[in-house]
A and B are shown apart, each in its own frame.
Chain A
Amino acid sequence: MSLHALEPNAGAEHSHGAGQRVSMQYENIHQQNESYLVGMWSFLVTEIMFFGGLFLAYSLYRVMYFDTYLEAHQFLLQYNFLGLMKGGFPWLGTINTAVLLTSSLFMVLAVYNAQIGQRIKTILWIGTVVACAMVFMVVKYFEYTNKLHEGLYPDRNFNYARALYILKTEHAGHDSGGHAENPRANRAWTAMKEAEKAGAKLSEEGLEIPATQTAKLTAGMDQRLTSIPNGTIAFSVPNVAFTHYNAEAQHARLFMSIYFCMTGLHGIHVSIGIAMMVLLMFFYWIKHPCVDDYMPLEMIGLYWHFVDIVWIFLFPLMYLIS
C-alpha cells in the first residue's frame, strides 16, 4: 500500500480483496479495472486495424493471382517430414498452431491463479506460456532459414527457380520414387521448363538466363538500369518463355513478401509478448508491488489471446490454400 499512500488524493480508496491499488485518477477499484479493460480492448481494436491493412493486401492479390498463391504456398509445406507422411503437409505450421492454441489455455490458468493469489503457480503457468512461445519462435526460425536457403527471401535476389527445382527434384522425389509431377506446381514449373528449352540453364542454383535476355527482361521491368543504352533495349522483346517465367517468379515474390510481412509482424508481436511475460514473471518473483494486482497479467493475457487469434487467421490463409 506504500506507493498509493504517497498520493495526495482525497477521492481514491483502497480496494477490498487481493491487494489492488487504486491510482490517483480513479474513484474506486471498479472504475480502475473497467478502465484498464476498456483501454486494452481499444488497443486490440487498433491492432486489428493494424493487421487489417496487410490482410487487405493479401486478399487483393489472392484474387488477382490465385494460381500463384496456390503454387507458391507449397513452399510453406514440408515433404516427408521425419518420415511421417509422404507428400506435402504444413507440419511446422500445424505444430505452431497447436503450440500457440495450447499456450492460450496456459495463459488463462496463469490469470486464474493470479486472481486467487497463487504466486508460484502463476509464475509456473506464465513460464509455460513463455516456453510455448519460444517453441513457436524456434519453429518459425527453422521455417524462415529454410526459405532463405531455398532462395525464397523476396528481395532482388529472389530465386524462384531454385526453390522450384528443389521442390521438384528433391522433395517430390519421395512422393513416388521418381521426378513425379506435382500437379499443383505446374504453371511455374512448365514456364521454367519452357525457359530451359529456350536456352536457359537449369540447376540447383536456379535458372541461368542468357545475359542478352536478362538485359531485355530487366530493361522492361526496371527503368533504373540506365547503363543499358535506351534505343537498343527498349524495343527489343525478350523470348516469351522468359517473360512467362519472369511473371510467375515475380508474382511468387509478391506472395512471399506478404508471407514474410504478415508472419514477421506476427512474430514481432509474439516476441513482445515473450518480453512482457518474462518481465511479469520477474515482478512476481521479486514480489513487486505492481503485481499485487492481477490486472497487468489479465491485460497481457488479452494481448496474448489476440496474438493467438491473428495466427488462427494466418495459418489457413497462408498454409492451407487449395
Chain B
Amino acid sequence: MSVSTLDSHDAPVVSHGHTRAAHGESPYGVDNENYINTDFSIKSWLLTVDHKRIALLYLFSVSMFFLLGGLAAGLVRLELTAPKGQILSSDAYNRVFSAHGIIMVFLFLIPAVPAILANFALPLMIGARDLAFPRLNLLSWYVYMAGGTCILISLFSGGVDTGWTFYTPYSSIYANGNVALCLMGVFLGGFSSIFTGLNFIVTVHKMRAPGMTWFRLPLFVWAMYATSVIIMLGTPVVAVTLLVVLVERTLGFGIFSPELGGDPVLFQHMFWFYSHPAVYIMMLPALGIINEIIATNCKKRIFGYEFVAMSSLAIAAFGFVVWGHHMFATAQSMYSSMVFSIISFLVAVPSAVKVFNWIATIFKGSVELSSHMIFALGFIGLFVIGGLTGMYLAAIAVDVHLTATYFVVAHFHYVMVGGALLGFMGGLHYWWPKMTGRLYPEFPAKLSAIIQFVGFNMTFFPQFIVGYLGMPRRYHFYAPEYQIWHVASSAGSTVLGIGFMMPVCYLLWSWFKGEKAVANPWGAVGLEWTIPSPPVTHNFLEIPVVTWEAYEYHGEHPAHDILDHAHDHDKDPQHASPVREETHV
C-alpha cells in the first residue's frame, strides 16, 4: 500500500490563486473541517442535501435491511437442513423465503451500490460539487425509507408468500398475505431508484468538470451511467405492472386475470422486462467498482478502456432484449424462445470483454494484494462461474431441465451475491477512507474477504449439484437423498455469515478508532483522491480542470504530484498546486 504523509491539512488544491497550504493553513478551512463534522445535529442529517451525507444515510439503512434479509436467509438455510423442515411451518417457510427475496432484491441489491457508493463517489470522480438535484437525492432516500417501511410492516403483519416475483394470478387473487402493502413498498422503492438514476444521468451529462470528456471518465462512472439508463427505462415498467396487480387486488379489476381472458404470462413479460435488466442494475455498478480497484491496485490504466466502457452500454442494451429467457417453460412461442436464447448468449460477449480486459490489466501489473483487491479477485472468479452457468440456462433444452431448480438459485446467487455483493464490499473497502477519513485494519479485512469467498462457494456450489439432480427451488420438503447437499450448503452459509459480520465489526470500529486516513491512501489517480479524506461539504474549493486521461498512472496527474510533493510542498508552493497550474495550460 502506498502511503503518503499528506493529510487533510495540506491537501494541495488551490483556492483563489494562492496556496494557503504553503503557509500552514489548509485551503479547506481550519481544524480538519469536513462534511461529517460540520454539524452533528440530527436535523442536519435528516435534512441534508449533501450527496455524501445522503450516501451515509443510505449506507446505514441499506445495511439494516441487508442484515434483516440475511437473517431470513439464515432461517431458510436452517430450515432446509432436514427433508421435512426444522422449526417452521410450511406457510411460515414460504413467507420467510419471500421476505428474504423481497428485502434483498428491492431493498438491498438495487440501491446498494448506486445509492451508497455511487452517490458518494460519482460527483467526486467527475469533479462536481454535488449531484445535479441534491433535494431530489434526499427525496429518494425518504421514498426508499417509506417503501422499506411499507415492506417491513407487510412482512411483520402476516407476511407475503408470493416470492419476490409476485406472479399473478396468485399474488393478485389467491395469496392471503399482506400483498397490497408490500407491492406499495416495492413501487415506492422503484421510484426511489428512478430518482437516483435520473440524478446520475443529468449529473454525468451536465456536471462534469472542464476537460472531463466522456472518454476520460472513470469506468465506474460509465458503469453507473449505463445502470441509470436501465433504471430509467426499466423501473417504470415494473412500477406500473405492480401497480396493476395492486389495483387488481384492492379494487377487484382484472387485467392479468385468466378468469376474464386476461393473460398471466403478460405479467411475466412485463415483470421480466424490468427484472432481467434489474440484474444488470445490480451487476453493472459492481463491474464498475472492479475497474477502479484493479486499476488502483495494479497501478495501470485499465487495458482496453474504451471497450470496457462500451461493454457497459452493450450489457445495458442487451439486457433489455433477453427477458424471455425467464419464460422458456411457459407458453411462449418456440421462435421467441430461440431469439431470446440467442441474444442471451450474446450478453456473454461484453461480459467477457470486461473479464479479459481486467486480466490483461493485472498481467504484468505491480499487483498490490490489498483487501479490496482480494474482494475484486474473488469477484472475478465468482462472476465467471455465475456467468458461465448463465450460459447453461440460456440454452433452451438445458433450461427446460433446470428451470425452477436450485441450479437457477445457485446461478443467480453466484452473480448477485458473489458478484454484486462482493463488488459492493470491495467498493466499500476501497472508498471507506474517503467516506469516513479512517483506515480500517488490513488484516481482518483481508481475512473477511477470503472467508466470504470460501463461505460463498461452500454455500452455493452444492446448490448447483442438488439443482442439477432435480431439487426444485422454493420447496419446503424434499427427498431425503438431497439432504447432504442442503446440509453442506447450510454449513457454508454460517461461514458466509461470519464473513459478512466481520466487516460490520472492524469497519464500525475503524470509524471511531481507526488510523486517520490521508487524502490518497491507495495511491490512486481518480479526482476523488485529490481532495482530503473526508472531503469538505462542497467537495472542491475550485472545480479542477482535467487535462489527463483516466487512470493515467504514468504521466502527469495531480494525484502523482500529491504523492511526489507531499514532503516538499513547503519549499515550492507552485508544485503543490498542480490543479491550478493545469488551469493555466
Contact = CB atoms under 8 A, between A and B. Distances in A.
The 3 A-B pairs with the shortest beta carbon distances in the complex, nearest first, are A155-B252, A50-B236, A25-B130
B262 A61 contact: yes
B235 A46 contact: yes
Secondary structure of the B contact surface, majority rule: helix
18 contacts: A25-B134, A27-B543, A38-B202, A42-B198, A42-B232, A45-B232, A47-B236, A49-B233, A52-B240, A53-B236, A53-B241, A222-B259, A253-B260, A257-B248, A257-B253, A257-B260, A261-B247, A265-B243
B1 interface: no
Interface in A37-75: 38-39, 42-43, 45-47, 49-54, 56-57, 60-61, 64-65
B240 A254 contact: no
Interface stretch (A6-14, A84-92, A187-195, A207-215): A6-14
A43 B234 CA distance: 13
Interface string B247-272: 11001111101011111001000100
B128 interface: yes
Nearest to A12: B129
Interface in A2-43: 8-11, 23-27, 31, 34-35, 38-39, 42-43
Given A9-B129, A46-B236, 18 more contacts: A11-B129, A26-B207, A31-B206, A35-B202, A42-B201, A45-B232, A46-B198, A53-B244, A56-B270, A155-B252, A224-B173, A253-B254, A254-B260, A254-B261, A257-B253, A257-B255, A261-B244, A261-B255
Contacts of B571: none
A39 B537 CA distance: 24
A30 to B, nearest CB: 10
B70 to A, nearest CB: 31
B206 A34 contact: yes
A35 B207 contact: yes
A38 B234 CA distance: 18
B206 A35 contact: yes
Contacts of B538: 8-9, 24
A154 interface: yes
A251 interface: yes
Nearest to B258: A221
Interface string A234-262: 00000000000001001101100110110
Interface of B: 15-16, 128-134, 173-174, 194, 198-199, 201-202, 205-207, 232-237, 239-241, 243-244, 247-248, 251-255, 257, 259-263, 266, 270, 537-538, 541-543
Given A25-B134, A45-B232, A38 B261 contact: no
B260 A251 contact: yes
B293 to A, nearest CB: 28
Contacts of B241: 53
A57 B240 CA distance: 11
A156 interface: yes
A260 B240 CA distance: 14
Contacts of B542: 10-11
Interface residues of A, number: 47
Contacts of B194: 46
Given A35-B202, A53-B270, A261-B244, A155 B253 contact: yes
A9 B130 CA distance: 12
B128 to A, nearest CB: 6
Contacts of A60: 263, 266
A254 B254 contact: yes
B240 A65 contact: no
B130 A251 contact: no
Nearest to A250: B260
A25 B128 contact: yes
Contact of B254 (A23, A51, A257): A257
Contacts of A25: 128-132, 134, 207
A49 B236 contact: yes
Contact of B255 (A23, A250, A258): A258
Given A50-B237, A257-B255, A11 B206 contact: no
Contacts of B202: 35, 38-39, 42
Nearest to B134: A25
A10 B537 CA distance: 13
Interface string A259-285: 011000100000000000000000000
A298 to B, nearest CB: 15
A222 B261 CA distance: 13
A39 B270 contact: no
